[in-house]
Structure 1
Amino acid sequence: MNKGISMQFFRYTLIAAGVLALAACNKSNDQAAGQPADAGELVVKIGSANPLTGPFAHWGRDSDNGVKLAAEEANAEGLTLDGKKARFEVVSEDDQADPKVATQVAQRFVDAGVAGVIGHLTSGASIPASRLYSDAGIPMVAASVTSPKFTQQGYSNTFRIIANDTQQGEALAKFALSTLKAKKIAVIDDRTTYGQGLADDFARSVEAAGGKVVKREYTTNSSTDFMAILTSIKGEQPDLVFYGGMDAQAGPMVKQMAKVGLKAAFMGADGINTAEFIKLAGKDGENAYASSAGAPKAQMPGFASFNDKFKAKFNAEIQAYAPYTYDATRVLIDSMKRAGSADPKQYLPELAKTKLEGVTGPIEFNPGGDIKNGTVALYQLKAGKWETVGAPTGKTDASAAK
């Protein structure tokens, strides 16, 4: 074949391939929520946004698996929405627990036409992403976002099924002062929306109750060396060190507390109440205290059954929020079921009226999108296991805390 003709043929082939690829992409996007995959099926896409790589990946995979299990069970029901048999498809995205990446993920979900979003895992990622979902009219149900700011933005499509950090801070401060009898308290946070907000709420509650914060220090959510901070804190001889942040930093932090000879109780919130903290902290984590923005697993009405299903499906232990993402997905799908539609405009009003008995407990929202009767539980690490201490506390309304 003539070289010129051959090259021209090659260029035409590339162009044709590109056109076919573009058409395939467009077809894929058309098969979003509300668009039939074939004559008899409606594909309903649910976005699941979590850090699937990096130091918080164990949390993210756990949460993502909860969404997948709920969707799988819904598919087995054979629901009919918008006059067609519905099939729920989970679209999982890695937001890396990074606010900038989270907004990119949110835009991809909007472009893909997802019917709703479960996530994001962290407050720092969820708050900027929520604006894009609000602008697009896509309902967002958060299962682990505890920053009060999340539901204070005035968005009608934003909900959470867990208590907030104001409640956690108050419960932890009361326990530190009343039960542990701590007089002098040092506070550290990781400068994230979650960590700093939680530490602020804790410190404010300590001071309001007559306690004394003798030192306030800061780190980042990627640091591993805390020796300088802890040495500075040691000079104040605190009774307790509180950390607002996640297990990836808390584990090394307690080890380094032992190295510098800082003999103080260690306390965090739901960010350290994990199996990963136990692994990272080792023996130095013994007797640490933590909270959870929800009931203890043993007191969740559906946990035993859910735990069995989760282990059978994923061959993994539950880290933290899988029961909540499972319930959040059920809330989303139940709202569609009651509306008879996967169109957000149709099922959003039903979502706001949710009354569902979940694995984690009863789920009902106040007008601001917060769960009613939010619960906070307290734990101590004993012999390598988190054990509840005292009775869980709660308020009538998660958003009532100021």
Structure 2
Amino acid sequence: MGRSRWLVLAAVATLVVAACAAGPSPGQTYSIGYDSSQTGILAYSDVPASKGVRMAIDEINEKGGIAGKYKIELTLQDNRSEAAQSSVVAQDLISKGVKFLVCTSDADPCTAAGQIAQKSGIPTMSTAATSPTLPGAVGDFMFMSVFGDNSQTTVLADYAIRTGYKSAYQLCSPDSAYTSKSCDYFAQVFEKKGGTILGRGSFTLGAADFSAEVTKIKNMSPQPDVIMTPAYPPDAPTFLKQLRAAGVQIPVVSIDGVDSVDTISAGGPAVEALVFTTHGFPEPGTPMEDFWKRYKAKYGSDPESVFAATGYDLVKVIEAAVTKADSTDPKKVRDAIDGLENVQGVTGTITYKGQDRIPLKTIYLVVIKDGKFQLLEKATPTAADIPAP
């Protein structure tokens, strides 16, 4: 073979190596696994979240993928809202080679899934779990996509005090971290600001009969100024219907779990004036309003809950991290998320840098009025007021 031909082949080989080093070839995929609660008690929030996830992925892929390089491939499996099944699903998804794991909207199944992913060095993020102990319970590959319960209950307690409520009764459930710890956080802040907790009742998730608690509240003397409960559908509207049917008109406040059309459709007039904290609101002229319109155009109806938006924003965080890392390597993506600042989501800007894997986000206060959600105010809690996780 002549020297000139050797030089040509060497030049071609150099170009091939350089091209491979420069980045992925067109059509390379980024595999994301979704350990989702499509059935069971968490389906009311995770089904909308999964639709938001798919919508964001479709939009990104239609534009050529993340940074025009990586088409996202989503594999979703149902964990039936069970922590044990969530572990099984996570193990199966990771065995299939996913490079990122999305887990459901509650900390208990997410902890189970995240611990499996942590051992494999796979970054994991929940669509809407708000327990601030979640990242620490799993490890440095676990991220939340929303604020913590200690933050949203701080805003809720501050609202209660500013509204003039001096005493409160709490209805909580030991069945999950969400329905127990959030009561603890609220009580700490409410009492710190001068309020008094008159008592704390208990319920079982999925309970259909709240008569014992309703009777207890009705017979309390003195009556509390407000009732705080982290119950979510179907429990929240069931409790409120039975409470109002008994003639008890004490105001009720809650947190993000009730932000669902199920609360209004199941509760009817009984949920009027319910105030709660949540992740966003479709104000005119905002990215959230635009998301609402695009979601309706895609699926034929308004989002069933705000969790459609948190699912969408989770994918936008992944997109920002992969773009920043210029890689799909799990460790590089994990490190990139940890340093993200001011990522524009539909619920607002999202910052992870310096936040211990719980993003800094605005908290919204919403009231149900005339059968519709209405925005009361937006708030960011004072850091000194937020209870430790």
For Structure 1 versus Structure 2, the TM-score category normalised by the shorter chain is 0.7 to 0.9
Q: Secondary structure at the match of 2:169?
A: strand
1:360 Cα shift? 1.8
1:401 Cα shift? 4.7
CA distance change for structure 1 residues 224 and 80 in 2, over 3 Å: closer, same or farther? closer
For 2:285 and 2:124, locate their aligned partners in 1 and report how far apart those are by CA, in whole Å. 23
The equivalent of 2:29 in structure 1 is 43
Out of 169, 185, 203, the position equivalent to 2:187 is 203
Q: Secondary structure at the match of 1:381?
A: strand
Q: Structure 1: which 5+ runs fail to align? A: 1-38
Out of 161, 172, 180, the position equivalent to 1:189 is 172
Q: Does 1:130 align with 2:114?
A: yes
1:204 Cα shift? 1.8
> In the TM superposition, what are the counterparts of 1:64-213 in structure 2 within 5 Å?
64-79=50-65, 86-153=70-137, 155-179=139-163, 181-191=164-174, 192-213=176-197
Are the equivalent residues in 2 in contact too, given 1:80–1:340 (CA < 8 A)?
Answer: no
> In the TM superposition, what are the counterparts of 1:219-258 in structure 2 within 5 Å?
219-236=203-220, 237-258=223-244
For 2:302 and 2:124, locate their aligned partners in 1 and report how far apart those are by CA, in whole Å. 26
CA distance change for structure 1 residues 210 and 80 in 2, over 3 Å: closer, same or farther? closer
For 2:146 and 2:234, locate their aligned partners in 1 and report how far apart those are by CA, in whole Å. 22
Q: Structure 2: which 5+ runs fail to align? A: 1-24
For 2:138 and 2:36, locate their aligned partners in 1 and report how far apart those are by CA, in whole Å. 23
Alignment deviations for residues 161-207 of structure 1 (CA, whole Å, 9 cap, x no partner): 3211111111111222221x223311011221111111111122222
Q: TM-score, normalised by structure 1?
A: 0.82
1:383 Cα shift? 0.2
For 1:240 and 1:50, locate their aligned partners in 2 and report how far apart those are by CA, in whole Å. 35
Q: Does 1:296 align with 2:287?
A: no
Q: Secondary structure at the match of 1:298?
A: coil
Q: Secondary structure at the match of 1:148?
A: coil
Alignment deviations for residues 273-322 of structure 1 (CA, whole Å, 9 cap, x no partner): 22110111111111111111x34331784112222221121223211111
For 1:196 and 1:73, locate their aligned partners in 2 and report how far apart those are by CA, in whole Å. 38
Are the equivalent residues in 1 in contact too, given 2:172–2:183 (CA < 8 A)?
Answer: yes
Report which stretch shifted further, 106-115 or 39-48: 39-48
Q: Does 1:285 align with 2:268?
A: no
Matched to 1:281, the amino acid is G
For 2:247 and 2:65, locate their aligned partners in 1 and report how far apart those are by CA, in whole Å. 60
Misfit runs of 4+, over 6 Å: 396-400
Q: TM-score, normalised by structure 2?
A: 0.85
The equivalent of 2:373 in structure 1 is 386
Q: Secondary structure at the match of 1:161?
A: coil
Matched to 1:155, the amino acid is G
Are the equivalent residues in 1 in contact too, given 2:126–2:145 (CA < 8 A)?
Answer: yes
Q: Does 1:371 align with 2:371?
A: no
CA distance change for structure 1 residues 45 and 383 in 2, over 3 Å: closer, same or farther? same
Are the equivalent residues in 2 in contact too, given 1:370–1:397 (CA < 8 A)?
Answer: no
Out of 264, 286, 296, the position equivalent to 1:311 is 296
1:219 Cα shift? 1.0
Are the equivalent residues in 2 in contact too, given 1:300–1:360 (CA < 8 A)?
Answer: no
1:362 Cα shift? 1.7
For 1:152 and 1:301, locate their aligned partners in 2 and report how far apart those are by CA, in whole Å. 34
For 1:52 and 1:311, locate their aligned partners in 2 and report how far apart those are by CA, in whole Å. 20
For 1:176 and 1:317, locate their aligned partners in 2 and report how far apart those are by CA, in whole Å. 30
Q: State the identity %.
A: 24
> In the TM superposition, what are the counterparts of 1:322-401 in structure 2 within 5 Å?
322-355=308-341, 356-367=343-354, 368-372=356-360, 374-389=361-376, 391-395=377-381, 401=387
1:271 Cα shift? 0.8
Matched to 1:135, the amino acid is K
For 1:381 and 1:80, locate their aligned partners in 2 and report how far apart those are by CA, in whole Å. 38
For 2:384 and 2:334, locate their aligned partners in 1 and report how far apart those are by CA, in whole Å. 21
For 2:308 and 2:44, locate their aligned partners in 1 and report how far apart those are by CA, in whole Å. 11
1:148 Cα shift? 1.0
Are the equivalent residues in 2 in contact too, given 1:40–1:85 (CA < 8 A)?
Answer: yes
CA distance change for structure 1 residues 46 and 399 in 2, over 3 Å: closer, same or farther? farther
Q: How many residues end up aligned between the 2 structures?
A: 358
Out of 43, 47, 50, the position equivalent to 1:57 is 43
Alignment deviations for residues 331-365 of structure 1 (CA, whole Å, 9 cap, x no partner): 21332233332221333222222232222222220
For 2:70 and 2:384, locate their aligned partners in 1 and report how far apart those are by CA, in whole Å. 34
For 2:237 and 2:171, locate their aligned partners in 1 and report how far apart those are by CA, in whole Å. 14
CA distance change for structure 1 residues 335 and 261 in 2, over 3 Å: closer, same or farther? same
Are the equivalent residues in 2 in contact too, given 1:163–1:398 (CA < 8 A)?
Answer: no
